[in-house]
């Protein structure tokens, strides 16, 4: 099964998807430290959203009370 075959040209006949080679736990830990743990990044994102929301509400209350 070739991805694209029009009768004259067979494109992708020798394509093999890349293999995920980082099975070493140490390598995965290094990547997690360099790139960032997705769970930690998601928590920091929602903390920043919450902080921005609270800041905006506080500034709105101060503005409306003056």
In this predicted structure, the answer to whether residue 2 has a pLDDT above a threshold of 80 is: no
Q: Which domain holds residue 34?
A: 4-65
Q: Within the chain, how many helices (H) and strands (E) appear?
A: 2, 2
- Count of domains forming the chain: 1
Residues constituting the chain: 66
Determine the pLDDT at residue 9. 77
- Which pTM does this prediction carry? 0.46
In this predicted structure, the answer to whether residue 37 has a pLDDT above a threshold of 80 is: no
Is the pLDDT higher at 59 or at 28?
Answer: 59
**Residue 41 · residue 34 · CB < 8 Å:** no
**Residue 48 · residue 40 · CB < 8 Å:** no
């Amino acid at each position: 099964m070739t991805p694209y075959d029009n009768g004259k040209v067979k494109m992708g006949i020798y394509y093999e998807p890349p293999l995920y080679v980082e099975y070493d736990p140490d390598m995965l830990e290094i990547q997690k430290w360099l790139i960032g743990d997705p769970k930690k990044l998601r928590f920091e994102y929602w903390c920043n959203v919450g902080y921005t929301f609270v800041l905006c509400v506080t500034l709105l209350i101060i503005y409306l009370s003056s």
